[in-house]
Amino acid sequence: MKKFLLFLSAVIFLISCTGDKKISDNEIIIENDQMRLVLASDGTAKSLFYKPAKVECLIEAKKVPVSTIIEPRPYQNEVKLAYPNKKTTFKSNSIRKEGDKLIIGYELIPWESTIIIKITPNYIGFTLEKFDLKVKDYGIAMTEPPICEMWFLRLPVRNRGHWGDWLNVIWDDKVVINVLATEPSANIDSEEGEGYRILEAGVDEKVKLTGVGAALITCATDKLLDNIAVVEKDYNLPHGVASRRNELYNASYYWSDNVNPVNVEEHIKYAKQAGFRTMMIYYPSFLESRGYRLLGNYDTWRSEYPKGRADLQAMLTKIKTTGIVPGVHFLHTHIGRDSKYVTPIPDHRLNLLRILTLAKPLGIKDTTIYVEQNPAFSTMANDRRVLKIGTELISYKNYTVTKPYMFSGCIRGIDETTINSQPVGYMFGLLDVSEFGATSVYIDQNSDLQDEIAEKIAEIYSAGFEFMYFDGSEGVNPPFWYHVSNAQWRVFNRLKPEPIFAEGAAKTHFSWHMLTGGNAFDTFKPEVLKEETRRYPCKEAPRMQDNFTRLNFGWLGYWLPDEETVGTQPDMLEYVTSRAAAWDCPVSIQANPETFARHARTPDNLEVLRRWEEVRTRHWLTDEQKQALKNLEQEHILLLNEKNKFELVPYEQIIDIANGNVEVRAFTFKRGNYIYVVYWHISGNKKLELPVNSKYITLLENFEQEIPVQSGQNENSSILPLRNRLYIKTNKLTRQELITAFKNAKIIH
């Protein structure tokens, strides 16, 4: 009986360990305390079991190969003869475990890949070590793997309600499954299926084929960041988790391109008035620039900085003493067309979109360039039609797509480059000119020019900056999944101290460790700001939350009222910053003291920002309030009530005030038994004649200060000041009566 009980206990234990699934002898088990990965000997993934909750994470009844090799065409002679010569995928069809290594075989081709396994309590690591031929003679003289791409880990994870496309993570309230790169060269992607998604980690021959790794994390959802932090530590990655846990994670920033030692105190004054904890300084504030590019050698200082970096350092110290943390905004992949890297002799490390060959010699005075290749689809965008031939840049007006192939209407030696002649057969390129203003060109990321620029950026950063915006991140050559984040990494790993947080114009998987919050959207005009906020940041925010991160709901422009626009108004900023707060996201505003000073409503605008920054700092919003703010059609106002405490209430705009006059903006809301209207003039100081008995309303500067109401020409009218934000309070009138009164009001000049 005792032996039987021991046997029964062992059976029960095995059943509980396998999630009620039998593990056969021809299956491979890789596990830690959190998960058990089961691979079948036929090269497919069979099970991924989350132990604590007894949850099967893979889709059942799907024989998905755990690895695939992709060749641009079949290379083995017999395969080449038997199958079409095209890009071909070969599936894994065998797998065995030898110590800490997986050996994977593939259908049709005689290759085996070796994957090193690293088992830790927090994750399981997979590193592609090598490829081996299983035959002595491959049939052709080749010493390198004939592979263009390869996926060394593929897991068909069932959908769980949340999918993070940036972090490559599937999750619900209980469990999270994440396939995470452990270094920049790992290609992390996914393939969608019906009810599941294949999470993949792979390599690309254009980047690196071996020594590339990824980590598999399967854990409780609230422990994901803890486990990623361990991966970051073990593989010496940027501290993406720490940045998301920093107190400045949700901090909005004051953004400016004209901060200098002369006006920095004015900037600080406005930044403090708006409650900003951080200030982003765009590089034209301290380096000479013309448009969307840098000049010279990244050390051409503006005249306001006669001592160069020393003046910058002193200015940043002054900013910090006020409690504001400074950051820097750089175009890290852009090279100015009037910089030393372009003129008088273009650097050989500028990126070329395609390579062409001279079909005829190029003479000093030639304006037509004959080429061997068809130049079809060469750019025809204005100011981007540039050829780099030897020591010069040449613009072209047009080209032919039938023989003889040629570029015509050429202008020689543009950008003050050095005109040269070249022989037939000379190879040259189509220059990769930025699509943003065509005033800069992109770096060849396969050269060391990005490292050279990174050193210059790091030297400037070390003057006292503490966070970073990576602008122009999309300006790289393919493959984009690698070069976008790797260009950022080549700069980021030189920044000392490591940025508290960073943002960027573009992102790929590995960027998650560097870019705390992804991108900030460009500015939208006041008349469309709310609509565009709903259309873009509000749609991206839940996707970013699925990736365990946030975005920036800025950049917000700051517009003066004029004949074409009502300008930036408090309700607009209230809408954007409140929606951002609903998703624990910041905003940013493009700031200029002169513009602030000229806008009559700047105190109100900045007060709106200040209140919401305090909300972020104090984490004041409840989950219920956040959910209410996610109703994008309902606007809200954050009040300071009679007790000087925050109070969040919904409000609605009154349309067609004073018979359609756009000078007045007003919104109604209810508190207790009272109906309120908050109203203001967009740009001036006037009076408003409201067809309401002055005895029926109370006028408030704020909720503690009452303003006397002047009677109008008759007892059923009141004369109200029309300037900054004021509040009307009543329990004598209905909401509709107040709305009608405002529609029939008159502005008194």
Q: What is the CATH number of the domain that holds 478?
A: 3.20.20.70
pLDDT value, residue 118: 98
Residue 641 lies inside a defined structural domain of this protein:
no
Whether the per-residue pLDDT at 17 is higher than 50: the answer is no
- Mean pLDDT computed over 188-197: 97
Q: Are residues 227 and 107 in the same domain?
A: yes
Closest CA to 181 of 510, 547, 667: 510
670-689 residue pLDDT tens:
999 999 999 999 999 999 99
pTM of structure? 0.93
Query: Which one, of 706, 707, 729, 703, lies nearest residue 719 by Cα?
Result: 707
The yes-or-no verdict on residue 600 having pLDDT over 90 is yes
Q: Kindly tell me if the per-residue pLDDT of 6 is higher than 80.
A: no
Within 10 angstroms of residue 369's Cβ, the number of other Cβ atoms is 24
The candidate with the shortest Cα–Cα distance to 362, out of 403, 417, 411, 421, is 421
Q: What is the mean pLDDT of the chain?
A: 93
pLDDT at residue 19 is higher than 60: no
Q: Which of 15-29, 150-164, 170-184, 187-201 has the lowest mean pLDDT?
A: 15-29
Q: Which residues contact 470 (CB under 8 A, 6 or more apart)?
A: 330, 332, 488, 491, 492, 502, 503, 504, 505, 514, 515
pLDDT of residue 297: 53
Q: Do residues 743 and 657 share a domain?
A: yes
CB 400 within 8 A of CB 409: no
Other beta carbons within 10 angstroms of residue 388's beta carbon come to 22
Backbone angles phi, psi at 234, to 5 degrees: -65, -30
Q: Is the pLDDT confidence value at 9 over 70? A: no
| pLDDT, mean of residues 551-556 | 94
* Residue in the block written with tokens 């592609």: 128
Residue 34 lies in a domain: no
> CA-to-CA distance for 173 and 420, rounded, in angstroms?
66
Are residues 278 and 205 located together in one domain of the fold? no
Q: Which of 570, 605, 633 is the last residue of a domain?
A: 633
pLDDT at 137: 65
Domain that holds residue 585: 526-633
pLDDT more than 70, % of the chain: 94
What's 479's DSSP letter? P
Sequence letter at residue 249: Y
98-107: average pLDDT: 97
Q: In 481-634, at which residue ranges do the beta strands (DSSP E only) sit?
A: 502-504, 588-590
Nearest-CA neighbor of 616 among 222, 247, 255, 243? 247
Q: Return the ∠ at Cα 260 (arms to 256 and 264), rounded to 5°.
A: 80
Name the band, by pLDDT with cuts 50, 70 and 90, for residue 24.
Answer: low
Q: What's the angle, vertex CA 211, arms to CA 205 and CA 217, rounded to 5?
A: 105
Question: Is residue 657 scored above 60 in pLDDT?
Answer: yes
Residues 502 and 580 in one domain: no
Q: Based on the fold, state whether residues 398 and 312 are members of the same structural domain.
A: no
Residue 18 lies in a domain: no
Query: The tokens 């309700």 sit on which residue?
Result: 571
Q: What is the 3-state secondary structure (H, E, C) of 101-165?
A: EEEEEECCCCEEEEEEEEECCCCEEEEEEEEEECCCCCCCCCCCCCCCEEEEEEEEEECCCEEEC
- Crossing angle between the packed helical segments 480-492 and 449-461, to the nearest 10 degrees: 40
pLDDT at 40 over 50: yes
Pair 286, 146 in one domain: no
**Token output for 378:** 């060469």
Q: Each residue of 288-310: pLDDT tens digit? A: 876 555 544 566 899 999 999 99
Q: Does residue 616 sit in the same domain as residue 544?
A: yes
482 phi and psi, to 5 degrees?
-95, -50
362-383 residue pLDDT tens: 999 999 999 999 999 999 999 9
Residue 16: pLDDT over 70: no
Return the number of other C-beta atoms located less than 10 Å from residue 705's C-beta. 9
pLDDT at 324: 98
**pLDDT for 14:** 42
Same domain assignment for residues 507 and 567: no
Residues 90 and 104: beta-carbon distance below 8 Å:
no
pLDDT for the residue numbered 5? 44
91-105, 581-595, 620-634, 707-721: least confidently modelled range: 707-721
Per the listing, tokens 């299926």 go with: 193
Asked whether residue 56 is domain-assigned, the answer is no
pLDDT of residue 170: 98
Residue 131's pLDDT is: 93
Q: Over the stretch 252-273, which tens digit does the pLDDT of each residue have?
A: 999 999 999 999 999 999 999 9
Could you tell me if residue 705 is inside a domain? yes
- Tokens encoding 677: 């209207």
Beta bridge partners of 582: none
Indicate the length of the chain as a whole number.
Answer: 749
Q: Is residue 32 part of a domain?
A: no
The answer to whether residue 587 sits within a structural domain is: yes
Residue 116 exposure: Cα atoms within 13 Å on the Cβ side: 9
Contact 203, 185 (CB under 8 A): yes
224 and 261 housed in the same domain: no
CA dihedral 315, 316, 322, 323 (to 10 degrees): 180
**The pLDDT value given to residue 298:** 61
**How open is the CA angle 148-151-156, to the nearest 5 degrees?**
145
Q: Per-residue pLDDT averaged across 581-597, rounded?
A: 97
- 188 and 115 in a common domain: yes
How sure is the predictor about 573, in pLDDT bands with cuts at 50, 70 and 90?
Answer: very high
Environment class of 135 (CB within 10 Å of its CB; exposed 0-12, middle 13-18, buried 19+): exposed
Q: Are strands 325-331 and 467-471 parallel, antiparallel or unpaired?
A: parallel
Domain check: are 461 and 544 in the same one? no
Q: Which segments of 1-58 does DSSP mark as H helices, in order?
A: 2-17
CB-count burial class (<10 Å; 0-12, 13-18, 19+) for 655: exposed
Give the up-direction half-sphere exposure of residue 465: CA atoms within 13 A in the CB hemisphere. 26
- Domain membership flag for residue 541: yes
Question: Which range has the worst mean pLDDT, 17-21, 368-372, 584-588, 720-724?
Answer: 17-21
Averaged over 395-402, what is the pLDDT? 98
Chain centroid to Cα 575, Å, comes to 22
For 225-256, the pLDDT digits (tens) are 999 999 999 999 999 999 999 999 999 999 99
Stretch 6-21: mean pLDDT: 43
Q: Which amino acid is at 211?
A: G
Number of domains into which the chain is organized: 5
Residue whose pair of structure tokens reads 């202008």 in the numeric block: 411
Q: Judge whether residue 8 has pLDDT over 50.
A: no
The predicted model gives 497-510 an average pLDDT of 96
Give me the pLDDT at residue 13, please.
39
Q: Which residues pair with 94 in a beta bridge?
A: 105
The last residue of a domain, from among 572, 605, 633: 633
Domain boundary among 633, 664, 694: 633
Say if residue 128 is in the same domain as residue 192: yes
Hunting for tokens 């109370």 — which residue is that?
Answer: 698
